[in-house]
């Protein structure tokens, strides 16, 4: 089966990122490896990943290798200054499940939006009573370089299609 809309896709890959500054591209460095022990599964067409990522995988089948790059514009774009937000440090108390270690500069805070969806923010600066947080995607401003293999392609179940994500062994409703 080939990768098409609403297929469940399993991948192994290495993701490297690079950045262009002053017209010079940095050497790509590895930021994520998903191997056979921890493959990446998603519902094609509903992944929330950059469109170009899915476009470049379309039509591939189990056993196919891939190697492609996404420019910053094709990936997560440039940083948005409106996503730099100052919040009172008291919102990140021990009672709410936060530790001193978690609110240090450079750390990523696991948060939820008003609809209960997971999100994260990077602590940019401790301003005393406040924290300056960056809600931009962690890969914003980078070119992405993917190299990997398609390890599984299957039809999504009705449940997966109606919920918009993968279930079962590699999905969100995994029994643990």
* 176: pLDDT strictly greater than 80: no
As given in the structure block, the two tokens for residue 166 are 């993968």
The pLDDT score that the predictor gives to residue 113 is 81
56 vs 13, 47, 60, 148, CA distance in Å? 14, 14, 9, 12
Mean pLDDT (whole number) for 135-149:
95
pLDDT in tens, 22-73: 888 788 999 999 999 999 999 999 888 899 999 999 999 999 999 999 999 9
* 154: pLDDT strictly greater than 50: yes
Considering the domain architecture, whether residues 12 and 73 belong to the same structural domain is answered as yes
Residue 115 in any domain: the answer is yes
Residue 60 in any domain: the answer is yes
Burial class (CB in 10 A: 0-12, 13-18, 19+), 152: middle
Considering the domain architecture, whether residues 73 and 86 belong to the same structural domain is answered as no
Residue 37 in any domain: the answer is yes
pLDDT in tens, 103-129: 999 999 988 888 888 889 999 999 999
Considering the domain architecture, whether residues 128 and 68 belong to the same structural domain is answered as no
Residue 95's domain comprises 81-134
Considering the domain architecture, whether residues 34 and 93 belong to the same structural domain is answered as no
Give the predicted TM-score (pTM) of the model: 0.81
The pLDDT score that the predictor gives to residue 20 is 82
Considering the domain architecture, whether residues 58 and 145 belong to the same structural domain is answered as yes
Residue 173: band (very low, low, confident or very high) from pLDDT cuts 50, 70, 90: very low
The pLDDT score that the predictor gives to residue 114 is 83
Considering the domain architecture, whether residues 63 and 31 belong to the same structural domain is answered as yes
The pLDDT score that the predictor gives to residue 175 is 39
Question: The domain spanning residue 23 has which CATH number?
Answer: 3.10.50.40
Residue 2 in any domain: the answer is no
For residue 90, the tally of other CB atoms under 10 A from its CB is 10
Considering the domain architecture, whether residues 145 and 69 belong to the same structural domain is answered as yes
Considering the domain architecture, whether residues 66 and 21 belong to the same structural domain is answered as yes
Considering the domain architecture, whether residues 105 and 163 belong to the same structural domain is answered as no
Considering the domain architecture, whether residues 37 and 122 belong to the same structural domain is answered as no
The pLDDT score that the predictor gives to residue 174 is 43
Considering the domain architecture, whether residues 108 and 149 belong to the same structural domain is answered as no
């Amino acid at each position: 089966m080939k990768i098409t809309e609403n297929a469940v896709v399993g991948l192994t890959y290495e993701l490297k990122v690079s950045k262009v500054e002053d017209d010079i591209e940095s050497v790509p460095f590895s930021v994520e490896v998903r191997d056979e022990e921890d493959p990446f599964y998603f519902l094609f067409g509903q992944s929330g990943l950059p469109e170009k990522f899915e476009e470049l995988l379309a039509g591939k089948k189990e056993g196919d290798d891939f190697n492609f790059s996404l420019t910053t514009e094709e990936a997560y774009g440039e940083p948005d200054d409106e996503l730099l937000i100052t919040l009172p440090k008291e919102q990140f108390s021990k009672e709410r499940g936060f530790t001193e270690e978690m609110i240090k500069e450079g750390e990523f805070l696991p948060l939820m939006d008003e609809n209960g969806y997971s999100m994260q923010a990077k602590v940019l600066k401790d301003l005393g009573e406040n924290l300056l947080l960056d809600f931009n995607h962690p890969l914003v401003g980078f070119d992405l370089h993917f190299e990997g293999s398609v390890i599984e392609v299957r039809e999504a179940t009705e449940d997966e299609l109606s919920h918009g994500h993968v279930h079962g062994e590699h999905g969100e409703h995994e029994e643990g």
